[in-house]
Every structure is written in C-alpha cells, then in structure tokens.
Amino acid sequence: MIQTFFALALAGGLFLGMLFLQEVGRRIGVRRMAQDPEGAGTGTGATETAVFALLGLLIAFTFSGAALRFDGRRQLVAQEANAIGTAYLRLDLLALDARSALRQRFGQYLDSRLAVYQKLSDIEAAQHEWARGVALQGEIWTQATAACRAQADPSSCMLLLPALNGMIDITTTRKMSTMTHPPTIIFVLLFGLGLGCSLVTGYGMAGSTQRSWIHMIVFAAMTAVTVYVILDIEYPRLGLIRMDAADQVLVELRESMK
C-alpha cells in the first residue's frame, strides 16, 4: 500500500509539474516572439526532436527492462517450485522414519517461503520469515545428511543431496532478482526529461493565441501514467501489478504435500 501511494504521488507530481512547465515554456515563447518575431523559432526543431527522442528511448529502455525483470521473477517462482518438488519426491529414497520427519520440515519450509514474499510490504516481517526459512534449510540439510550416513546404500543420496542443494540455491537467486532494479539516476533522468520536454512543448505552443489544453493534458497524463506503470512493474509485490498468480504453483505444491 505504501509503495502504491508513493508511485501514485510521483506520477501525480510529474503530471502537475509537466503541466506547469508547459505553461512556463509557453510564456517564455510568447515573450521571445514579442522581442524577436522572426528568430524566436529558429533552430528549435532540431532541439525538440533530440529531446523527445531521448525521452522515447529512455521510456522504451526502462519499460522493456521492467517487463523483462517481471517475467524473469515469475520464471524463478516456477523454478523454485520445481526444485522443491524434485527434492521432496526424492525423499522417498530415504528410510521411512527419516522421510516422515523431513516431509514435515518441507511443509514448514514451503510455508515460510510463501510468507517471505507475501509480507514484503513489511520489510521487518519479511526478513524474519527469510531467517526462519534459512534456519529450516539448515535443519533439512542436517537431517538429510544424517539419514544418508545411516543408509545401507548411500548411492541414493547422490540424487537427493544435489536436489536439496538446488532447492537452497534458488532462494538466493530469487532474493537477488527481487532486489535488482535500475539505478536511481535512471528514474531521475526519466523525470527530468519528461519535465524538460514539457518546457520545450510549451515553448512550441507560443505561436498560438489560445492554449491547447487537450494536447497539454494528454501529453502530461500519458507520460505520468507510463512512468507509474514502469514503477509498478519494477515492484510487483508492492503495487497494483502483482505476482500473486505466479505463487499459485507453490500453493499447489504445498497442497500436494498434505
């Protein structure tokens, strides 16, 4: 909820700032035309083209990157579900008493993994669940290695232990994916270009005696909405665009363990 409000506040601020700078640009243009009617628009076309091209390029870059990261995070959820499911199935290679205890731990571990990402809006609670999951990983690994040493035929553990290792490794990959975002300077530049283009747009409207409110509002609104969507996709656990549907594979896996 906090992230959604923050993104909406940024987008709203960008919208208002763009409208304001379009008006400022228009007044500067009107004053310049009054002073130099023939030279006021000389050479402005190339500048407008370059600035708008930069804005379009940056929007395309950030939007495409955010969409790719969003898709990558969904793929990692499926990979973790596969890793946990494979390790869970290979518990059948162990003796019955060791298998039962480990299956119980697996259920607790999967509950913890789901809770980490469901509680991301509360960083402290998410960190607590992360620590709980790490502790359960240690317990699972310790119990599994002890059961392997007790096996009459330890060759079966050559299948189980690598699967457990893969299940543990994917958690670090998912954590890094969640923390991966463009540098803050990219977003600062995106906002700066949006405001700069508004100033140039307003200057270009100076030749008209009436303000074109439709053009001014549509340009500011579409740019602000696009920036909001980019921010929301970058943080899919905190905004309106969610990854809850991707977690369904983990929920279904948990149901199969009962």
* Span 75-124, pLDDT tens digits: 999 999 999 999 999 999 888 888 889 999 999 999 999 999 988 888 89
Q: 217-231 burial, b for 16+ CB within 10 Å, e for fewer?
A: eebbeebbebbbbbb
Cα Rg of the chain, angstroms:
27
pLDDT band, residue 63 (cuts 50/70/90): very high
Alpha carbons within 13 angstroms on the beta-carbon side of residue 75 total 8
DSSP code of 154? Answer: G
What's this model's pTM, rounded to 2 decimal places? 0.84
Q: Tell me the residue type at 231.
A: L
Q: Please, what sign has the CA dihedral across residues 15, 215, 189, 173? A: positive
Q: Return the residue matching tokens 């363990």.
A: 257
Residue of 198, 193, 245, 248 whose CA lies nearest to 221: 198
Q: Tell me the residue type at 186.
A: I
Question: What is the pLDDT at residue 3?
Answer: 64
pLDDT band, residue 42 (cuts 50/70/90): low
| pLDDT digit string, tens, across residues 217-251 | 999 999 999 999 999 999 888 878 888 888 999 99
Between CA 94 and CA 81 the distance in angstroms is 21
Residue of 232, 241, 244, 230 whose CA lies nearest to 119: 244
Phi, psi of 49 (to 5 degrees): -60, -45
Question: What is the pLDDT at residue 131?
Answer: 95
Residue of 84, 126, 86 whose CA lies nearest to 106: 84
Residue of 112, 116, 117, 115 whose CA lies nearest to 135: 112
Burial of 171 (0-12, 13-18, 19+ CB in 10 A): buried
Whole-number percent of the chain with pLDDT over 90:
60
